[in-house]
Amino acid sequence: MKIALAGTGNVAKRNYIPCLAAQEDVELGYYNRTSAKAEAVAAEFGGEVFDSLDALAAWDPDSIFVLTRETDRRDLLSALLDLNPRRLFCEKPLVAQNGQEDVREDDFAAARDLLQRAKAQGCETAMIFNYRFFDQPLKAKELIAARDYGQVNNISGLVHYACWSHAIDLVHHFAGPIVELTALQGAQVRGEKMAAHDVTAAFRTAGDATGTLIGTSMLDWTFPLLELTFNFQGARIHLRDLDGDMEVLDHRSARHETYAIARDRSRWQQYDDSFTKSILAYLETLRQNDPPPVPGLAGLQELQVEAAIKRSIATGRPVDLDADLPLGL
């Protein structure tokens, strides 16, 4: 299996290449605008370096991992689609030309155009969204399947902007797509890391669950940066960041359960593990010729929500996502 990497910076080197290089059935190919970076990675992990995107595509990889900065991703994806690749696997957010802390409506429009092109060409797209592969969401999915908690009725979340796109994706993952939304924005720019206006979004999903998400940069990094509560018909599940505990209030058994995350691994070791699990799950779908675990559509749906938030703030009105910001796929 041939895996190409377009972008060999710190994210690629830390979160992707060690896992990929450890797979016996994977050949690696690299392209970077700064060829010395690609050559350094190849010297450390093995693989072939290509001096252009054309050469990378001519190698005919099974999938191309798009691992550049989000500010450069739109142009790179467009250039790759010109070369008719079989599959593209993208970092998140799919497009964010001003950085992930400032996703705008035109980012959604650009991403939609790219995925429409990919679909028309028969190019399969996939996303990372590694928070789905943390221990807590995996355990929650296991419990939901085993105990049949029924549909989600309500969702609430308090989220640092470092985790914002992941929180939106987790809402979709557990409760289905958001279809209506209204948002408010704080007057002041706050925070030191990823400084931005606070935002509160109230929403309704396709399954008629209602919820709120608060986005902020004012959460201390010592403590959880993401807290999500899902109120199902048969239980309430509270997820807390990367290294916190998960609480389950089971309505049928009247039990209050706590699932502790192993404390022998740091927050960032668990973060790295989530990438490994995401990549391995994706590679297995390639081996079996199955659909990807997280399709490119998930990346577009996340940007659709961010675009709806920006539009609601600008207009002071609710946004019907399907009518006002259609996915077009």
What residues does each domain of the chain span? 2-130+275-295, 131-261
Q: Which residue has the higher pLDDT, 241 or 46?
A: 46
Assess contact for 238 and 183: CB atoms under 8 A: no
The pair phi, psi for residue 86, each rounded to 5°, is -75, -45
Half-sphere exposure of 124 (CA within 13 A, CB side): 16
Whole-structure pTM value: 0.94
Give the pLDDT confidence score for residue 267 in this predicted structure: 72
The pair phi, psi for residue 226, each rounded to 5°, is -150, 125
Give the pLDDT confidence score for residue 193 in this predicted structure: 73
The dotted CATH code for 131-261 is 3.30.360.10
Q: Is the pLDDT of residue 194 over 90?
A: no
Q: What is the pLDDT of residues 15-26, one digit of tens each?
A: 999 999 999 999
Q: How many residues would you count in the chain?
A: 329
3-class DSSP state for residue 36? Answer: helix
The dotted CATH code for 2-130+275-295 is 3.40.50.720
Rounded to whole angstroms, the Cα distance separating 317 from 295 reads 30
CB atoms within 10 A of CB 185: 17
The pair phi, psi for residue 295, each rounded to 5°, is -75, 165
Rounded to whole angstroms, the Cα distance separating 81 from 117 reads 7
Contacts of 168 (CB under 8 A, 6+ apart): 178, 213, 302, 305, 306
